[in-house]
Structure 1
């Protein structure tokens, strides 16, 4: 599994002109499921999301607090395009992303583990397989890539564009 974490002051997801989720200060998490990923990867990624230290402490020391420490919120958004292969031609190849119901189930397992690891009401979700409008006010900006899974393989090697 792969995720892009963005530290935000606010973020929201709109589907069909209706806001389905919104958060204040916290994390926007774009997450993608690859073929071969299991619940183990989903759980590992959920733990990393919640433990990543992205905020300063009260004394100004950098990178000391995680989203739970600041009582922030988390907005998870499924985004299979994170696993696109872009090394050949100008059209992205999405064969590196798991499809259908299997991806839906594993993504939702990830989302539920983020909720269980924190507080259910502080963790929001986009809408799986929907055309979403994602709005955010990036804080910093701070943007990180997280990967949970095998150390080597087609879905964990960096894209060369």
Structure 2
């Protein structure tokens, strides 16, 4: 019910997870979660937005600290809002939760850890992108419970189909 996809910063994790979400939706299933999108910003180079996979709603997750700052910074308030949105989405019992990043906030014990835990408690399969530098924190978080999937769409779809079959067997 829980799977992580290790990736490097140069890998297209968001495009991969977006394709998986499109596949799941195409099968008539409901998706909750998010992927990140980057947009150019004249002061800090790139702002990061998140797109809710269930609603399509987009919001910035980083904030521009001004032209004198070095880069942009994660917006803690936006992350809290995203967490609230996703927790609310779980109340509608989606068929999968897709979390684009297990990153610094999650490694520090914050971020979307509670959303992942809530989905697990509700027996909703969870798919998480795991940045290489946060793999140790990810391992500590799940304690050996999660599967590790390759950065491969077909393998992820196969995992998803296994989750669907397993849930159907449990409900029968």
User: What TM-score do you get using the length of structure 2 for normalisation?
Assistant: 0.33
Structure with the largest fraction of strand: 1
Higher relative contact order (CA 8 A, sep 6+): 1
User: What TM-score do you get using the length of structure 1 for normalisation?
Assistant: 0.35
Structure with the largest fraction of helix: 2
